[in-house]
Amino acid sequence: MTTRKITNSSQGIHGTISVPGDKSISHRALMFGAIAHGETVIHGFLKSEDCINTMKCLQQLHVKIEEKDDVVIVYGKGFEGLEKPERTLYVGNSGTTIRLLLGILGTLPFETVITGDDSIKKRPMDRVVKPLSKTGALFSANKAPIVVSGTNTKGITYDSPIASAQVKSSILLAALNSVGTTNVSEPKPSRDHTERMLSHFNVSYQKKENMISLIGKQKLTGREINVPGDISSAAFFIAAAIITPNSSLEIHNVGLNETRTGIIDILLKMGANITISNHSKMNGEEVGTIHAEYSPNLNSVEICGETIPRLIDEIPILALVATQANGMTVIKDASELKVKETNRITAVADELTKCGAKIEPTNDGMTIVGKSTLQHANVTSHGDHRIGMMLAIAGLIADGGMTIEDAEAVSVSYPHFFEELNNIMA
């Protein structure tokens, strides 16, 4: 386990950076490339542990994937080109890999065993196993390791009780190789990268309110995909600039899909100095440049309801920002945080409390009272990349900095996070 010491940054952070490719889109680009026919060329692919695990799983299913210079090329042969792997598929820490792959594997006429690390083995898979079983897919268990197979799967109608892009996407991927129509709905809109990628691959489907309908067995042809920078990675540096005195930071090429920009809406509501420019579109995904500056007069805010799925991965870093805002910030309707890479409600509350924050966990979120002066503490990432990065940013403003155990967890989504942090502190 690596321990990292972060020093307090009285000079602020400065510069112009770009963040690595979007994790959600990188996973989907590989999977869509694998089930399409022909070459899919991916620019800006995120070479992080999670996405590399997706790549390795697909290679074990006998999909040829090459890395050349800055591109990744997937030579897809359709669903019928996927062949039984010789060994157990290992997804590491990646919930997106296992849940989306279960959708694909549940339509294939051979048994695959799929598993992951200790965190994955504890996370709920019944949320995909239950609907996918209705298609005719067979599963040995509700938690990893799982043996999965399926023949002649059929379209289903499923009203998901949770707003989860992983559940929706798993069902849609299964739908592509099943006979008949699949209808899937969710209680609140979750990120829609799968739908946008379906359109990019010329798959026809209908979307009415929160219900998507797709007819199976449509043929996909390989495409070129440009992956924008990940707003969930940018969020750490945006927050860093906002809470660290004397800071000014520009981040280029950030994905601004409105199902992901809840973080920007909330920070603006809190009074943060953020501007967005250079709007454009990349394969159906909005992108732009984000400029963030130190914002000394932040106010507390309530974060709940439909906003939650739009910023679910940014709640750890928003909790840190809330420690620097005047008044009580309330985060609710976010019980999904309990089943992420770690229980992010207790992990955020425990670690920020060690630093002197006034933060209380609740059943479906937390309350944070600001403004607090944070102090050095020996903290841990809990093996969770986003907790690790949030604590590193806390170190920029904590008296005496921060010492973070299990810091290498950041590699799951942002392998060069600490190097980039050093660059902007210099």
Q: Which amino acid is at 397?
A: I
Query: Is 313 assigned a catalytic role?
Result: yes
Check whether 206 is labelled as a binding-site residue: no
CA 6, CA 404: separation in Å to the nearest integer? Answer: 8
Distance in Å, CB of 24 to ligand S3P, minimum = 3
Strand duo 146-149 + 112-115: pairing: antiparallel
Quick one: which segment of 74-82, 85-93, 162-170, 403-411 binds ligand S3P (CB under 6 A)?
162-170
Check whether 344 is labelled as a binding-site residue: yes
Does 169 help bind ligand S3P (rule: CB under 6 A)?
yes
Does 345 help bind ligand S3P (rule: CB under 6 A)?
no
Among 54, 164, 170, 261, binds ligand S3P (CB under 6 A): 164
Check whether 190 is labelled as a binding-site residue: no
- Kindly name the residue from 50, 117, 192, 313 that is annotated as catalytic: 313
Quick one: which segment of 85-93, 103-111, 160-168, 284-292 binds ligand S3P (CB under 6 A)?
160-168
Distance in Å, CB of 270 to ligand S3P, minimum = 22
Check whether 340 is labelled as a binding-site residue: yes
The CA dihedral of 318, 324, 329, 332, to the nearest 10 degrees, is 20
Q: Which amino acid is at 2?
A: T
Phi, psi values for residue 406, rounded to 5°: 60, 40
Contact at 8 Å (CB) between 103 and 170?
yes
100/396 with CB nearer ligand S3P: 100
Report which of 361, 345, 333, 363 is spatially closest to residue 163, judged by C-alpha positions. Answer: 333
Contact at 8 Å (CB) between 347 and 409?
no
Contact at 8 Å (CB) between 420 and 18?
no
CA 6, CA 401: separation in Å to the nearest integer? Answer: 5
Does 160 help bind ligand S3P (rule: CB under 6 A)?
no
Contact letters for ligand S3P, residues 294-333 (x by CB under 6 A): ------------------xx--------------------
Does 101 help bind ligand S3P (rule: CB under 6 A)?
no
CA 56, CA 301: separation in Å to the nearest integer? Answer: 42
Give Cα 410 distance to the centre of its chain. 13
> What is the helix (H) or strand (E) element at residue 17, kind and residue range?
strand 14-18
235/325 with CB nearer ligand S3P: 235
The answer for residues whose C-beta is within 8 angstroms of residue 301's C-beta and 6 or more apart is 266, 269, 270, 322, 325, 329
Check whether 64 is labelled as a binding-site residue: no
Among 40, 48, 190, 307, binds ligand S3P (CB under 6 A): 190
Distance in Å, CB of 257 to ligand S3P, minimum = 12
CA 183, CA 185: separation in Å to the nearest integer? Answer: 7
Check whether 223 is labelled as a binding-site residue: no
Interface residues with ligand S3P (CB under 6 A)?
Answer: 24, 96, 164-166, 169, 190-191, 312-313, 336
Q: Which residue positions form the known binding site?
A: 23-24, 28, 95, 123, 164, 166, 313, 340, 344, 386
Residues with catalytic function: 313
